[in-house]
Amino acid sequence: MQVRRFVGMTATVAVLAASGSAAADKAEVGAAAPGFILPDVQGTIHSLKDFKGKYVVLEWVNFDCPFVQKHYRSGSMPALQAGYTAKGVVWLSICSSAPGKQGYFEGDELKERIAEEKAAPSAYLVDKEGTVGRAYGAKTTPHMFVINPQGTLIYGGGIDNIRSTDTDDIAKATNYVRAALDAAMDGKAVAVSSSAPYGCSVKYK
Say what the pLDDT of residue 26 is.
Answer: 83
Band (107; pLDDT cuts 50, 70, 90): very high
Instruction: Express each pLDDT in 33-71 by its tens digit.
Output: 999 999 999 999 999 999 999 999 999 999 999 999 999
Q: What is the C-alpha to C-alpha distance for residues 108 and 111, in angstroms, rounded to an integer?
A: 5
- Whether residue 193 contacts residue 180, with contact meaning beta carbons closer than 8 Å, is answered with yes
Instruction: Express each pLDDT in 113-126 by its tens digit.
Output: 999 999 999 999 99
* pLDDT above 90 coverage of the chain, percent: 87
The rounded mean pLDDT for the chain is 90
Range of the domain at 144: 4-201
* pLDDT above 70 coverage of the chain, percent: 88
Number of domains in the chain: 1
CATH classification of the domain holding 73: 3.40.30.10
Say what the pLDDT of residue 66 is.
Answer: 98
Say what the pLDDT of residue 6 is.
Answer: 37
Provide the residue type at 137 as one letter.
G
- Whether residue 26 contacts residue 133, with contact meaning beta carbons closer than 8 Å, is answered with no
Q: What is the C-alpha to C-alpha distance for residues 79 and 129, in angstroms, rounded to an integer?
A: 29
Q: What is the pTM of this model?
A: 0.89
Residue 3 pLDDT exceeds 90: no
